[in-house]
Amino acid sequence: MKGQHILLLTFAYFFLLVVIAKITGKNDTNSDFFKASKNSPWYIVAFGMIGASLSGVTFISVPGWVESSKFSYFQVCIGYIAGYAVVAFLLLPIYYRLNLISIYQYLGQRFGKTSHLTGAFFFFISRIIGAAFRMYLMAIVLQQFVFEYWGIPFELTVLISISMIWIYTNKGGIKTIVWTDTLQTLFMLFALIISIVSITNALDLTFIEFLNSKELSNYDTIFNINDIKSKDYFLKSFFGGMFITICMTGLDQDMMQKNLTCKNLKDAQKNMLWFSVILSVVTFMFLLLGALLFIYAERFDVAIPMLDNNVKTDLLFPEIALNTNLGLMLSSFFVLGLIAAAYSSADSALTSLTTSFCVDILNFNDRKQNDKKNLRKKIHVFMSIILITVIISFKYLINSNVIDSLLTVAGFTYGPLLGLYSFGIFTNFKVRDQMVWIVALISVILSFGISQIPYEYFGGYIIGYELLPLNGFITFIGLILIRR
């Protein structure tokens, strides 16, 4: 597919998002921007959240990870289901009972202002890094396959991408995103299905024949129940996945802001449970797609692309979709799916960052009504600039698989949130609020230090995603020490 065709698809898709934004954002009110006036149908929220949760990381990085990790990532996904149940029946009732705009207001009510700001700060860092990871993937693909040919620098590619997102989220905020995420999920699923069908046809296989093939057996190992020392041991992956979901969904303003737009708690819980089941099925399909990509590459001698002299398995999917002879339909839907995947996470991140900064950091609710809209718009621009800066920096910092990097970073940034909320929910203790940020910072430092200890010192045991609950546990113990 030629670069000009990719650009044409991109701008056509963007035009469609702007039309939706025009309809949903016509009121341009803070109530719509922050909470969609609490009038979103639960099934629309559930379907749209699939795209936001999968993002460009799942769309590209999960298939690219299959070569080295097989299907072991699905162990983490099984943990996700347990985590979503915790979110639905433990956290959502608290958020709805307190009628929160930002979920970090809970920490303020439970412990005090410093705890509130500490929670908001760690969300701020977590979401900026997470959103930047996701947008970085889309940007490097567009750069590699479109803009590089015309000599356009990577920095301008990022600037254009974020500016387009800012345009259609500027007025409607979360109300717009609930509906654009639905469209984006639909395009992503179409891209997944068409990719699987196109590649199996090119391999002269039916889907059932592929599932029974010897070639798939080289990749389809899911469970590791024999080596507790390895990073992907089942229990480590399961509980790591569960806590990742509790933190990256239940303690994350980005994901919870969508849930809090549902009419009531019952609808929000239905949304969460149905979403968890569908998400697991879709993720498994992406793992199957990953196996297909590497089988196709081996059979037809497709080289894995390189970026800055490093082999990037993340780029195998776009290489096959755009630079082989699998047809215009596959390449077109790949582009649409990629853009949808990236935009569905970045647009909600931009909105949730704006919401959290306004409500948690700037005491938005205490300001005059006439000042609120102007302030919100300025912060929206400010968050866009921050995202652009961080995404560009990743080009020079990231060498590993993006999803592995994302989940590793989550272990550091979400751990203090896990400890704070666990302490608040499961104990009746009060704490010295002014010292909470110190406890959270020490927890991150200790967790990072533990992660850097050579595995030989643990008898060959490799620390994996259990770093997140460990970080939360350290925070919990620290809060006990400063209780009053």
How do residues 451-468 score in pLDDT, each as one tens digit? 888 878 777 777 777 888
Helix intervals (H) in 27-153: 30-35, 42-56, 62-69, 73-86, 92-98, 105-110, 113-145
Please give the residue that has the higher pLDDT: either 421 or 338. Answer: 421
Highest mean pLDDT among 2-11, 136-145, 277-286, 394-403: 277-286
Say if residues 383 and 357 touch (Cβ distance below 8 Å).
yes
pLDDT confidence band for 226 (50 / 70 / 90): confident
pLDDT 10s digits, 5-43: 777 887 888 888 888 888 877 766 666 677 666 777 878
Say if residues 346 and 162 touch (Cβ distance below 8 Å).
yes
pLDDT at 352: 81
pLDDT for 121 beyond 70: yes
Q: Mean pLDDT for the chain?
A: 84
Distance of CA 235 to the CA centre of its chain: 23
Per-residue burial over 75-110, b if 16 or more Cβ lie within 10 Å, else e, is bbbbbbbbbbbbbbeebbebbbeeebbbbbbbbbeb
Distance of CA 264 to the CA centre of its chain: 25
Residue with tokens 């002879």: 325
Q: How far is CA 23 from CA 17, 20, 168, 355, in A?
A: 10, 5, 11, 21
Q: Is the pTM of the predicted complex or chain greater than 0.95? A: no
Q: How far apart are CA 252 and CA 398, in angstroms?
A: 24
pLDDT for 364 beyond 90: no
Nearest to 50 by CA among 273, 279, 244: 279
Average pLDDT over residues 167-190: 80
pLDDT for 307 beyond 70: no
Among 134-138, 321-325, 382-386, which stretch is predicted with the lowest mean pLDDT?
134-138
**3-state SS string over 430-483?**
CECHHHHHHHHHHHHHHHHHHHCCCHHHHCCCCCCCCHHHHHHHHHHHHHHHCE
pLDDT at 452: 86
pLDDT at 28: 65
pLDDT at 376: 83
Which domains occur in the chain, in start order? Answer: 3-396 (1.20.1730.10)
